[in-house]
Every structure is written in C-alpha cells, then in structure tokens.
Amino acid sequence: MNKARYILIVILLLISTFTIAEKLFTPEQLREDLDFLVSKIVEEYYNPWLKVDETEFWNLVEEKRAQLDHDMTWSEFYKIAAPLVATLHDQHSFLQPPSDAVIRVFPFRLHRVKDKAVVINSVCELPVGAIVTKINGIPVENIIQELEMYGTYETPESRLNFLVNYFIQALPEWWGIEEFEITYLYKNEEKVLNLEATSSKYYRWITQPVRKRSPSFELHGSIGVLKVPSFNRSYKNETVKKMEEAIDSDITNLIIDVRSNSGGSTGNVLSLLQYFVDKPTKLAKGIGAKSYTREVVKYAILDYGVNVYPAKKQFSGKLWILTDEDIFSGTLIFLGFLVREGIGTILGERSSETANFGFKQQEYLLPNTNCSVDLSKARILLLEEGRHIEPDIPINLSLEEKIKWIIGEADPMLDEALRIVERVSEEQRSMEVK
C-alpha cells in the first residue's frame, strides 16, 4: 500500500470534535434506515439488476449492515449506505444528506477539465483557473479513486464530473477535519495554500457560476448562435422567445450551443425541438420500466407516449449543434432525438454519458437519519443501448483552451465552430455556382 493511500485511509477514519457533537443514531435506527433504503431500491427502481449482479448486491447489503454495529452520525451512515445506490450507475439515483444538514465544504468549487481538477469558483485566495493537484499531500487522483464508490454515473467516462463537483467539495464533511493544505498549479507555478473549511450555509453549490444560465441569441453575420446553458423549466418561455428571435432574423445557419448543459425539464426540451419537425414525432423509442401483472413484476420496454409537435414557425436554414462531454439528462434527450431523426450537424465533443439513462426520479425519506434517496422510475430509450452522442465534426481543445472557456476568459470552441460553418457554407455556395 503506497503512502498516499495509507494517509487517505487514516483520514477517512478520523472523527472530528465537531462530528462527535452531532446527533447520534443507534444501530437499530441505522439498520432500519438501511433496510428502508434497500427495499426502495428493489421495489421502486426500474431495474436494480441492469448494471449490478443481484448476488453481489445482496452480499454488499450484508456487508454494510454488519458495519452498523455502533452509534453513528448521519454522515457516518451516509458513507456506508451511499455506495449501495451507486451500484445502480444511474445519474438520477443517489443518496442525499438531510435537507437541514449544514455540511462543511471547501470555499471553492472544482470541475473536471481533461481529467484535471480545475477551480471554477472561489471565495478564498485560491484563484479561479488553478489546477488542484493535492489535498493534504494526497494526489487528487488517489482521492477520486477512493471516492468512486459514491459516484452516480452511467459510464466510467463521466465519473469525475459528479465526484469532483460534489464529493470533493464536501471532503471536510466526509473526512471530519477543518484545516487543509491545498497544492495547486497556477500560471505554470506550483503553490501551496492553507485554508479552513466553510459551511454550505454560506457557500452554495452553483452550476456554471462564471456564465449565465439563461438563454441568449447572438448574430455573427449570416450565422446565428442560440446559447442554451440550461433546460431548467424557469427558462422555457425565454428559450422560446430567443428561438423565435432566431427564426425572425436574417440567418441561413443556426448554431445551438448546449455545452455543459446539465439538463432540466422535458417540457423545455420539447419547446425547442418543435421548431425542427414538420409532423408529430415520438420523442423517444420507448422507456424501460416495471410492468405489473397478477403473476409477476418485471422490467419491460414500454411506449413513452410523448410526441414532439411542430410549431407554427419552422426554422428553414441549416442547423448545427455545439456540444461537449459535460452534458446530461434533458440535454441527452434533446441531442438523442436529433441524432435519431437525422436533424442537424453536431460539432464539438463526444458525450461522457450514454444517450439512454434513468429518469422520472422519485424521492423517499429515510425514517431516522432523514437522509433521502432519489431513484429513477424508468429508463428513457433514445438510441441503441450504450451509444454516446458522437460529433459529426469533432472539435478538440487543449487543456489551456478548455480552462479559458470554463472560467469565462475565451471561447475557442465556438470560434472554431463559426469557422467550420462559414467554410462549409462557402463550399456549398461554390458548388452551387458550378
């Protein structure tokens, strides 16, 4: 066992004086919560055995149950129970801390950029754009490896997104310590910063803090760029307004930019897709869900029953979609539909997640610790199982270029996308002249 791994294991076993002061739950209460959690996974999740062997799952349950042999805080219970949900490998299924829990967090937020942990938001001396390499002398890669057991992801390619964005920020809570030494690279120079943890009460997790989440429309000559950073339902009317602004403008090419869009409501997705179909079209190939009969309950492929209906206005120009590896949920529905129907040309990066994923989540409250578990009730089937969203024209950026975009300093991928659209349009015009 290497030294870094040994130190990490020791830290994970530490309990701070702060933790000791928290409410303790008896083994009976903890096992009741674990049994409740397991029952919901088996009874409510659409297919518990899709990605985990049933025997392995029940062996893990017994292992976890045996660990609940003494009084624990909710966070100690959480570390034991969360890996059970993680075995589902579902981006919408996860164990959550109690809603009133004040969690100790780092005063900065990280994001994966080409497998590096990059600071994208900071309320301390750690500069935005810095690459964190070690925490308390332990390489970030080792920490991620240890935290894999908590990850909620469909494929290993996307594991660092959720882990870096959530679990690593909450390391002060999971490790039970307050003071940290952060080693980082900034402008090609290695530096060390000593800092203290802060409270989630004062530092909220914010999606894409350096960029606006609301949609916008820009003109670049005859090319329009509709930026859709989120499909959150609160932006639905604004998304429609900006899309109709694009239709009413004098453009021949439209780029819809959905990079780092983590999803949102299906209704918002439908409101945008309606401008690109000329007849009612099924949103998905189907859904996988539990089918109930008198004799048996089983996983079955069912009709989703949701259609995309054409809008009164239709976009008549050439459609391009700019995407990257950091897209999830509703954005996969948006792109999966376009790919299946052969609408538009995709530019950018391959999605880290597959097009099909668990959705229609339901929340269940554990009776004692008040942790809650979100579980998907169905699996949306957009493309062939295991298929990712692949770009028709890849755009590859360097680490430096991606960091500049993540922190809002430049947008080299959009610049390259505009050059591609201009070049293809010029080639088409030349062919028409001939």
Domains of the chain: which residue ranges? 1-207, 216-361+380-433
N-term to C-term CA, the chain:
69
Indicate whether 7 pLDDT > 60.
no
Work out the pLDDT band at 422, boundaries 50, 70, 90: very high
Instruction: For the chain, give the mean pLDDT.
Output: 89
Percent with pLDDT over 70 in the chain: 92
Query: Out of 124-138, 193-207, 401-415, which region has the weakest mean confidence (pLDDT)?
Result: 193-207
- Determine the Cα–Cα distance for residues 120 and 206; give it in Å rounded to an integer: 10
Work out the pLDDT band at 393, boundaries 50, 70, 90: very high
pLDDT value, residue 3: 41
Work out the pLDDT band at 389, boundaries 50, 70, 90: very high
Work out the pLDDT band at 21, boundaries 50, 70, 90: low
Output DSSP code: residue 387. Answer: -
Query: Out of 35-39, 292-296, 303-307, 389-393, which region has the weakest mean confidence (pLDDT)?
Result: 292-296
Q: How far is CA 130 from CA 153, 185, 356, in A?
A: 26, 6, 34
pLDDT value, residue 399: 94
CATH placement of domain 1-207: 2.30.42.10
CATH 3.90.226.10 describes domain 216-361+380-433: yes
Token representation of residue 347: 């530019």
Name which of 168, 191, 178, 52 is nearest 110 in CA terms. 168
Output DSSP code: residue 10. Answer: H
Token representation of residue 311: 């809008």
Token representation of residue 268: 């918002």
Angle between helices 266-273 and 330-341 (to 10 degrees): 30
- Determine the Cα–Cα distance for residues 308 and 286; give it in Å rounded to an integer: 14
Residue pair 370/279 in contact (Cβ under 8 Å)? The answer is no
**Mean pLDDT, range 120-139, rounded to an integer:** 93
Output DSSP code: residue 160. Answer: H
pLDDT value, residue 12: 44
Give residue-wise pLDDT tens across range 65-119: 999 999 999 999 999 999 999 999 998 999 999 988 888 999 998 888 888 999 9
Indicate whether 19 pLDDT > 60.
no
Work out the pLDDT band at 152, boundaries 50, 70, 90: confident
**Mean pLDDT, range 32-60, rounded to an integer:** 96
pLDDT value, residue 79: 93
Q: How far is CA 38 from CA 26, 72, 85, in A?
A: 18, 19, 9
Residue pair 224/253 in contact (Cβ under 8 Å)? The answer is yes
Percent with pLDDT over 90 in the chain: 73
Of 128 and 5, more confident: 128
pLDDT value, residue 291: 87
Tokens 């083994």 identify what position? 27
Work out the pLDDT band at 266, boundaries 50, 70, 90: very high
Show Cβ contacts of residue 111 under 8 Å, excluding neighbours closer than 6 positions: 117, 118, 120, 161, 164, 165, 406
- Determine the Cα–Cα distance for residues 383 and 126; give it in Å rounded to an integer: 42
Q: E strands of 189-234, at which residues?
A: 189-196, 198-199, 216-220, 223-227
pLDDT value, residue 203: 66
Residues in the chain: 434
Show Cβ contacts of residue 237 under 8 Å, excluding neighbours closer than 6 positions: none
Q: How far is CA 387 from CA 346, 354, 382, 393, in A?
A: 15, 5, 9, 17
